[in-house]
Chains A and B, each alone.
Chain A
């Protein structure tokens, strides 16, 4: 184990996870949600790409064996374990308008650190710490949330997807700036604002073997690992 830390429900976090590190995110309460974004530490212009992640793996949800692609054909991180089973890459972030409409207006002056922070505000603040900003705020993913798309294309958030104690493990394949916000999912119904805390636990992992569950999930991922390993060769 390298370190442990808890993200207080409703708050945001960022840090650098080195290639080879495994980060476990554990839901501390039911119906958790964690918005996440990934950027190359070496060149943050290389960043998580929703479309490349979806189309390379023919998926509209993430679970064990899936990887998060950068826009440069490389793998930022891989999902090596997942007791939850479905994470949402589609729906994006809340913004101030949505948070206020759903849960009411709050300010630090009255609510102190219990004030409500939108996903967009959380990400813009964390981006700023690395010299990044609005132009770098690309499509994100939401861990622990399940959104089903029906045959007509309508999106439905499924409550009860994540239970307290469930976790997902990310193995970083590149040195990565990680942004996290433990806030409500954008499709969550109000009016109760109860964002779950998220436990973080980092450990050193093994390099992905030839029979690794992510590498062997599909031929596309095998090539994604080759691209990534070449850049560290």
Chain B
């Protein structure tokens, strides 16, 4: 599998495959850019990243160095290595046209959003080795570089980002992994500092 080095412009999706043992680096090029991401077992996409299995396994909600991303079948999928941001979210999910009408205003339905990007990417991913993915295959995702603190009183909010230009996170694939990314186009909350920007995705073989 050839190595990847690509820039995903603001608001665009990306889909690709990485092999077991390869390291995926996601770079927040300009700072405070949410990168909505899903991972699937590339050989059997009914097995995929599970937010609840992951936070249950580590008994904690924030993702950072040492976090093992778990599948819905309770198996290790990827492990987070170097992380110069320090905290990533997996409770906030992806924005959608429909949730934007609830969160902001009924008139916001037209605005570009992560679920539309996910669905568009899936229409382009015509994998002859298996069934095409659909909305049915969109579980709760990871938001790299996004800051969603939860309080002991049970509150939750989308806070100002803690990332900055050039910060990155690395993940080592523990199986062959299909990666689905939406570089978030949200303009209604601070998850992209109200200014969506490009991110870079790089893979390399582990040393």
Contacts and interface: CB of A to CB of B under 8 A. Distances in A.
Given A54-B93, A151-B152, 11 more contacts: A45-B135, A50-B52, A69-B102, A73-B96, A135-B136, A136-B136, A137-B72, A139-B50, A152-B60, A227-B101, A227-B106
Interface in A4-46: 45
Contacts of A148: 152, 154
Given A59-B155, A97-B74, A150-B152, A90 B55 contact: yes
A151 B103 CA distance: 25
Interface residues of A, number: 47
Contacts of B150: 60, 149, 153
Contact of B154 (A60, A91, A151): A60
Given A50-B93, A60-B91, A227-B101, A149 B140 contact: no
Given A73-B101, A223-B102, A153 B156 contact: no
A71 B56 CA distance: 23
Which of A55, A72, A151 has the largest number of chain B CB atoms within 10 A? A55
Contacts of B68: none
Interface of B: 46, 50-53, 55-56, 59-62, 72-74, 87, 91-94, 96-99, 101-103, 105-106, 115, 135-137, 139-140, 148, 150-152, 154-158
Given A134-B46, A139-B140, A220-B102, A71 B96 contact: yes
B153 to A, nearest CB: 8
Contacts of B96: 52, 71, 73
A132 to B, nearest CB: 9
Nearest to B61: A153
B41 to A, nearest CB: 12
A51 B55 CA distance: 14
A154 B155 contact: no
Contacts of A69: 99, 102
A229 interface: no
A197 interface: no
A184 interface: no
A86 interface: yes
A185 to B, nearest CB: 10
A130 to B, nearest CB: 13
Contacts of B97: 73
B93 A51 contact: yes
A222 to B, nearest CB: 9
A139 B142 CA distance: 13
B59 A187 contact: yes
A149 B92 contact: no
Given A139-B52, A149-B151, A55 B103 contact: yes
A186 interface: yes
Contact of B94 (A51, A136, A155): A51
Nearest to A220: B102
7 contacts: A50-B52, A54-B92, A54-B156, A56-B99, A60-B91, A60-B151, A149-B154
Contacts of B50: 92, 139
Nearest to B93: A51
A191 to B, nearest CB: 18
A95 interface: yes
Contacts of A154: 59-60
Interface in A114-135: 134-135
A73 B102 contact: yes
Nearest to B54: A92
A56 B115 CA distance: 16
B102 A186 contact: no
A139 B50 CA distance: 8
A162 to B, nearest CB: 16
Given A86-B154, A149-B61, A135 B137 contact: yes
A45 B46 CA distance: 15
